[in-house]
């Protein structure tokens, strides 16, 4: 896992460590890591033109000390001071190493091979003021590599919120631990490649607030030699209607390719017929919307309910019947709309996974919360939803977040903007439901489902690891279904 800590905890850990070290040691450790990373990004340090954007805080000091190290290796280092309160020790060391302070920021940036953003640090909140904002905007037009020190200026380190101008870095060197805002959009989109530099905070850091998994963290079950379809997990899917049939095909596809030992699908006659044609391995049942309908479907180990089901009284009856069971349930799409008016159905002992996008979560929370507010403060609202709704909440979007009460929020590191197309959420619901049926906990199934779903989309669109901008191809939801086996193979 990549572990991220809120700003207050990072500050407390830094203070505890600094109390045991000679003055200035921590800043010099950070500067050494920053300078080393910058040196690797330059073809040649000797003769390279390096520009430091220096604010009045500790990040400005980090940049100055790093600049001094690069200057001693032969780089031509110039510092642009955005504040009269630049770190005195760092400034003196830069000058002693041959670096200089310049006033013409435009000229310096025009000729820079590398720019170090040391304008603001993890304590920055709210929009950047001038001249910080103007310098942040100007970095978007430099030809050299832009390296952010700890966190790109203008990005809220605790949440990823961006209010106004912000540096968009090619590379971010962060110190001691990740910060949540580096992993969550819109802030994550400003970071580029992130490198963590160990400055010795380890034993002083408490439990993380946010985590992001590596493939080896997912724990996806693998069939054993003695496995059969029942041991691998039977997932029941209630999706689709006479009017909305595609959601049924896609959610069952996600479950079939999500490792389920068996998929039991139940719905109206038309979607059942389509499932029989497209997914003949699924066991299908035509049902009417009545509480006793589940008795005809057969034994399952988890339920997926909602995609394309509709929001009328009949759909509500089926959703209520599923949520009255003692089995894990994943609710998506139309099911979430029903729950926005029937939140009482969420008071249950068995695990419940909700997979809303921001608009659906706004309806679930009510109280005048808007989609725009949720998009701007995703971390805050996914935590609130997990508590208020007594469920595991997977908030879909440019950064998918998974939350349970009193646990670190999980951030999904995979995905592509091409996922923003109709039906991909239905695929995710079937996939995560299959993992639930296989015996994974609610938060683990949601985490692994989001990871594999995002990776399958990358595979379908182009490069699965680091898609080059402009070289990916548009994808459909069905493309994600067919790429799931390749996504699973990457976990071997």
Which residues does the annotation place in the binding site for (6S)-NADPHX?
58-62, 121-127, 132, 150, 247, 308, 357, 426
The binding site for AMP consists of 396-400, 425
What the block records as the tokens of 187 is 């802030």
d(C-alpha 290, C-alpha 297), whole Å: 13
Rounded (10°) CA dihedral 413, 471, 40, 97: -100
Q: Count other Cβ atoms within 10 Å, centred on residue 18.
A: 15
Cα end-to-end distance, the chain, whole Å: 17
The binding site for K(+) consists of 59, 117, 153
Q: Which residues make beta-bridge pairs with 262?
A: 234
d(C-alpha 393, C-alpha 386), whole Å: 6
Using omega within 30 degrees of 0 as the cis cutoff, is the peptide bond preceding 186 cis?
Answer: yes
The distance from CA 183 to its chain's CA centroid, rounded to whole angstroms, is 6
Task: List C-alpha distances in Å: 264 to 59, 359, 385, 441.
Answer: 56, 30, 30, 21
Closest CA to 361 of 329, 328, 390, 396: 396
The binding site consists of 58-62, 117, 121-127, 132, 150, 153, 247, 308, 357, 396-400, 425-426
Cα-trace Rg, the chain: 26
Task: List C-alpha distances in Å: 460 to 60, 452, 475.
Answer: 43, 12, 7
Q: Count other Cβ atoms within 10 Å, centred on residue 352.
A: 22
The distance from CA 415 to its chain's CA centroid, rounded to whole angstroms, is 9
d(C-alpha 271, C-alpha 198), whole Å: 55
Contacting residues for 266 by C-beta, under 8 A, at least 6 apart: 236, 237, 238, 272, 284, 285, 286, 287, 293, 296, 297
């Amino acid at each position: 896992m990549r572990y991220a800590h809120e700003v207050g905890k990072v500050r407390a850990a830094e203070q505890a460590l600094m109390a045991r070290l000679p003055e200035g040691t921590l800043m010099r450790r950070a500067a050494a890591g920053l300078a080393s990373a910058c040196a690797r990004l330059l073809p040649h340090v000797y003769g390279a033109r390096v520009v430091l954007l220096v604010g009045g805080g500790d990040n400005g000091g980090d940049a100055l000390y790093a600049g001094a190290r690069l200057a001693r290796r032969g780089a031509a280092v110039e510092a642009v001071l955005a504040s009269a309160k630049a770190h005195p020790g760092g400034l003196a060391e830069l000058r002693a190493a041959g670096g200089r302070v310049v006033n013409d920021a435009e000229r310096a940036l025009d000729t820079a091979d590398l720019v170090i953003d040391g304008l603001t640090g993890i304590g920055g909140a709210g929009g950047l003021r001038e001249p910080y904002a103007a310098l942040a905007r100007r970095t978007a037009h430099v030809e050299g590599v832009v390296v952010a020190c700890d966190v790109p200026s203008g990005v809220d380190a605790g949440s990823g919120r961006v209010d106004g101008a912000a540096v968009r870095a090619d590379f971010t060197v962060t110190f001691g631990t990740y910060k949540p805002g580096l992993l969550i959009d819109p802030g994550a989109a400003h970071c580029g490649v992130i490198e963590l530099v160990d400055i010795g905070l380890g034993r002083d850091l408490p439990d993380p607030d946010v985590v992001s998994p590596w493939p080896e963290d997912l724990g996806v079950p693998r069939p054993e030699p003695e496995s059969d379809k029942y041991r691998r997990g039977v997932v029941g899917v209630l999706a689709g209607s006479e009017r909305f049939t595609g959601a049924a095909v896609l959610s069952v596809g996600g479950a079939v390719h999500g490792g389920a030992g068996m998929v039991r699908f139940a719905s109206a006659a038309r979607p059942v017929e389509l499932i029989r044609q497209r997914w003949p391995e699924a066991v299908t049942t035509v049902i009417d919307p009545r509480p006793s309908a589940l008795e005809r479907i057969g034994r399952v180990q988890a339920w997926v309910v909602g995609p394309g089901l509709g929001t009328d009284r009949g759909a509500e009856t089926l959703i209520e019947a599923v949520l009255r069971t003692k089995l894990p349930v994943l609710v998506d799409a139309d099911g979430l709309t029903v729950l926005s008016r029937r939140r009482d159905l969420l008071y249950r002992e068995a695990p419940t996974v909700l997979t809303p996008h921001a608009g659906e979560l706004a309806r679930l929370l009510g109280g005048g919360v808007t989609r725009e507010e949720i998009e701007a403060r995703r971390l805050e609202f996914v935590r609130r939803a997990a508590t208020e709704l007594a469920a595991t909440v997977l908030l879909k979007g440019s950064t998918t977040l998974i939350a349970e009460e009193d646990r670190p929020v999980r951030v999904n590191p995979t995905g592509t903007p091409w996922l923003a197309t109709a039906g991909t959420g239905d695929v995710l619901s079937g996939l995560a439901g299959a993992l639930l049926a296989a015996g994974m906990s609610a938060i683990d199934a949601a985490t692994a489902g989001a990871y594999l779903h995002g990776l399958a989309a990358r595979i379908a669109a182009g490069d699965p690891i680091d898609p080059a901008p402009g070289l990916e191809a548009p994808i459909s939801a069905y493309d994600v279904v067919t790429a799931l086996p390749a996504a699973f193979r990457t976990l071997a």
